[in-house]
C-alpha cells in the first residue's frame, strides 16, 4: 500500500508539473532586449536620449519617467528615471504602474474591431442598434450671441444617426460635457474624463448621456469626448460580457499584459506612481491632493471598482503597453496570438476624417491620430505614424516605416511648460543609423 501511495504521489506531482509547464509555455514571451546596433540604432546616441529624459527630473519638472523603444520587435532602449514617489524616496522602475488615461482608447478601439471580425457588430451600424436610447439625438445650438446663458440652448434634431465609426473617429458630436449645453451636462454630473469614483456601471452612465444634447451634428466635425466610453458600453452589449472581463479574456491575457487593470489590485498598489502637479509659485512640483477628482491621485486603488471607463480608465506599465502596440505593428498578432487581421489594423491606422479639420499634417483613424503630411506637421517621424496620449502626460506612437514602437509614461497634471515630448521624439530618431 505504501508503494502504491508513493506512485500516486509521484504521478500527481508529475501531472501538476505538466500543467505548470503547459501554462508557462502558453503564456506570452517577454519582450527581448537587443543591442541597439542589431536593430539599426546607436547605443551611443541613445545615451543622449536618456540624458535628455533625466534632465526633467534634475530640473524638478517631473518626479520621474519611464520610456521604452522597440525596433523590429526588440527592446533597444528602456529607462526608468527619478522617483515613483518622492516623499518615500521610492525609485521609478520599469514595472511601475501608471494611469494611462486616454491611452485606454486604443485598446477599446481594438476590442470593437475584434467584435466586428467576430460578426457581432459592424462599425457603420447606427449606435442605437446596440444602445436603443441613442435613437433620436438632439443637438444644442450655439446661443452665445446674446441669449440668457442660464436658459437651456435651443435644440434641433440630429440630421443623421450616430454610428460606431463616428465614435471611433470622434465625429459623433459628443463632447466631454462642454459646448452649448454644458450646463445640462453639469447638472447631470457628467463632465470630464474621470470615472474611477462612480458607483454606477458605465452602461447606466451612458444611458444618461443619451438624454443630453450633442455639441455638434454627427459627422460634422472632430469633437473630443465620451465617444470611447460609449464604445465600452457597446462592447458590453455586443459581447455579453462586462468590459473589464472582455478585455482581460480577449486582449490582456492573450498579449501577456499582466499589469493592465481598470483598478489596481491591492497587492500591486505599492507599484502605482504618484501624480504630481506644478507648484503654484512655479518653483518645482508637489504631489497632487488625495481628494477625489480629476486633479487628484484618483480612486484607482480604493475606489468602488464599478465604473469601467473605456475612454480613460486603465492603469498599465510601459512594457505592457509596448506589447499591445507591437501587436498592432505586427498587423494584429504577437507571439503567435492573433487579435486582429492585418486589414483591420490597416483600416484603424488610416485617416478617416477626409476634409474635416483636425491638426496640421495629421488625421484621425479608428482610435489613433495618423500623420498624413510630415512636413506640415513639422517634427521628426514618418507619414503613416499613429499614436495618442493620456491626461497624466503620457504618450506613445508607432512608426511602421521605421518599425518603431515608443512608449513614454509619467504622471503630472497639468503639464505646464514641458517640452519632454519633443526631446523624446528627437532623441529616438537621431539614434537611427541604418
The reported pLDDT for the residue numbered 28 is 58
Whether 400 and 384 have beta carbons less than 8 Å apart is answered as yes
pLDDT number for residue 16? 42
List the grid coordinates of 51.
540624458
Q: How far is CA 421 from the centre of its chain?
A: 17
Strands 369-371 and 386-390: antiparallel
pTM of the model: 0.92
- The widest CA-to-CA distance across the chain, in whole angstroms, is 95
H or E segment and range at residue 228: helix 227-239
Burial 13-36 (b: 16+ CB within 10 A, else e): eeeeeeeeeeeeeeebeebeebeb
- Give the separation between CA 71 and CA 177, rounded to whole angstroms: 40
pLDDT given for residue 381 in this prediction: 98
Residue that is written with C-alpha cell 519638472 in the block: 61
- pLDDT confidence tier of residue 12, bands split at 50, 70 and 90: very low
To the nearest 10°, report the CA torsion of 397, 319, 71, 360: 0
At a CB cut-off of 8 Å and minimum separation 6, what does 253 contact? Answer: none
Half-sphere exposure of 3 (CA within 13 A, CB side): 0
Residue 292: the pLDDT is 87
Q: Which residues contact 122 (CB under 8 A, 6 or more apart)?
A: 116, 164
pLDDT at 39 over 70: yes
Does residue 3 have a pLDDT over 90?
Answer: no
pLDDT band at residue 142 using 50, 70 and 90 as cut-offs = confident
Q: Give pLDDT tens digits for 88-100.
A: 999 999 999 999 9
* 3-state class (DSSP) for residue 103: helix
Q: For position 2, what pLDDT does the model report? A: 40
- The C-alpha cell at 248 is 482581460
Residue 17 above 90 pLDDT? no
**What value does the mean pLDDT take over residues 324-353?**
98
Whole-angstrom Cα distance, residue 282 to residue 418?
Answer: 12
Q: What is the mean pLDDT of the chain?
A: 93
- Are 294 and 76 in contact by the 8 Å Cβ rule? The answer is no
pLDDT band at 144 (very low <50, low <70, confident <90, very high): low
- pLDDT tens digits, residue range 151-189? 889 999 999 999 999 999 999 999 999 999 999 999 999
CA dist 331 and 345 (Å) reads 6
pLDDT at 65: 98
Neighbours of 42 (CB within 10 A): 16
| Cα dihedral: 328, 329, 334, 339 (round 10) | 30
At residue 30, the pLDDT reads 83
Q: What is the pLDDT of residue 416?
A: 92
Determine what percent of the chain is predicted with pLDDT higher than 70: 92
What are the distances in angstroms from CA 426 to CA 378, 399, 402?
A: 12, 14, 14
pLDDT at site 147: 57
For residue 247, pLDDT beyond 80: yes
C-alpha cell at 273: 506612481
CA dihedral in degrees (359, 227, 243, 258; nearest 10)? 10
Amino acid at each position: 500500500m505504501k508503494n502504491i501511495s508513493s506512485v500516486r504521489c509521484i504521478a500527481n506531482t508529475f501531472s501538476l508539473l505538466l500543467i505548470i509547464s503547459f501554462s508557462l509555455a502558453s503564456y506570452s514571451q517577454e519582450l527581448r532586449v537587443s543591442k541597439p546596433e542589431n536593430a539599426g540604432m546607436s547605443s551611443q546616441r541613445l545615451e543622449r536620449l536618456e540624458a535628455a529624459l533625466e534632465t526633467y527630473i534634475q530640473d524638478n519638472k517631473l518626479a520621474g519617467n519611464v520610456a521604452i523603444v522597440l525596433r523590429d520587435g526588440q527592446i533597444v532602449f528602456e529607462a526608468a528615471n527619478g522617483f515613483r514617489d518622492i516623499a518615500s524616496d521610492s525609485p521609478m522602475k520599469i514595472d511601475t504602474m501608471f494611469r494611462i488615461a486616454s491611452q485606454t482608447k486604443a485598446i477599446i478601439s481594438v476590442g470593437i474591431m475584434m467584435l466586428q471580425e467576430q460578426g457581432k457588430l459592424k462599425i457603420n451600424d447606427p449606435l442605437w442598434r446596440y444602445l436603443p436610447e441613442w435613437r433620436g439625438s438632439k443637438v444644442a445650438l450655439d446661443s452665445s450671441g446674446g441669449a440668457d446663458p442660464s436658459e437651456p440652448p435651443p435644440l434641433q434634431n440630429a440630421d443623421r444617426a450616430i454610428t460606431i465609426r463616428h465614435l471611433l473617429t470622434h465625429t459623433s458630436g459628443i463632447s466631454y460635457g462642454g459646448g452649448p449645453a454644458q450646463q445640462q451636462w453639469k447638472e447631470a454630473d457628467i463632465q470630464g474624463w474621470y470615472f474611477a469614483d462612480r458607483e454606477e456601471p458605465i452602461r447606466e452612465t451612458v444611458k444618461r448621456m443619451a438624454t443630453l444634447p450633442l455639441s455638434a451634428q454627427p459627422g460634422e466635425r472632430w469633437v473630443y469626448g465620451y465617444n470611447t466610453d460609449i464604445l465600452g458600453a457597446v462592447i458590453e452589449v455586443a459581447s455579453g460580457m462586462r468590459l473589464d472581463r472582455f478585455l482581460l479574456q480577449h486582449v490582456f491575457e492573450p498579449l501577456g499584459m499582466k499589469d493592465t487593470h481598470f483598478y489596481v489590485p491591492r497587492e500591486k498598489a505599492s507599484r502605482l506612481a504618484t501624480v504630481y502637479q506644478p507648484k503654484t509659485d512655479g518653483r518645482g512640483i508637489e504631489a497632487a491632493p488625495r481628494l477625489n477628482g480629476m486633479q487628484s491621485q484618483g480612486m484607482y486603488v480604493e475606489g468602488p471598482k464599478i465604473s469601467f471607463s473605456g475612454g480613460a480608465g486603465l492603469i498599465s506599465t510601459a512594457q505592457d503597453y509596448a506589447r499591445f502596440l507591437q501587436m498592432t505593428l505586427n498587423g494584429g498578432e504577437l507571439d503567435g496570438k492573433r487579435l486582429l487581421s492585418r486589414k483591420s489594423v490597416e483600416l484603424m491606422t488610416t485617416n478617416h476624417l477626409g476634409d474635416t479639420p483636425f491638426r496640421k499634417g495629421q488625421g484621425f483613424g479608428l482610435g489613433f491620430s495618423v500623420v498624413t503630411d510630415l512636413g506640415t506637421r513639422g517634427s521628426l517621424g514618418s507619414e503613416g505614424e499613429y499614436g495618442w496620449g493620456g491626461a497624466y502626460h503620457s504618450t506613445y506612437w508607432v512608426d511602421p516605416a521605421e518599425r518603431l514602437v515608443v512608449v513614454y509614461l509619467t504622471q503630472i497634471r497639468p503639464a505646464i511648460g514641458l517640452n519632454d515630448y519633443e526631446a523624446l521624439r528627437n532623441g529616438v530618431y537621431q539614434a537611427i543609423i541604418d
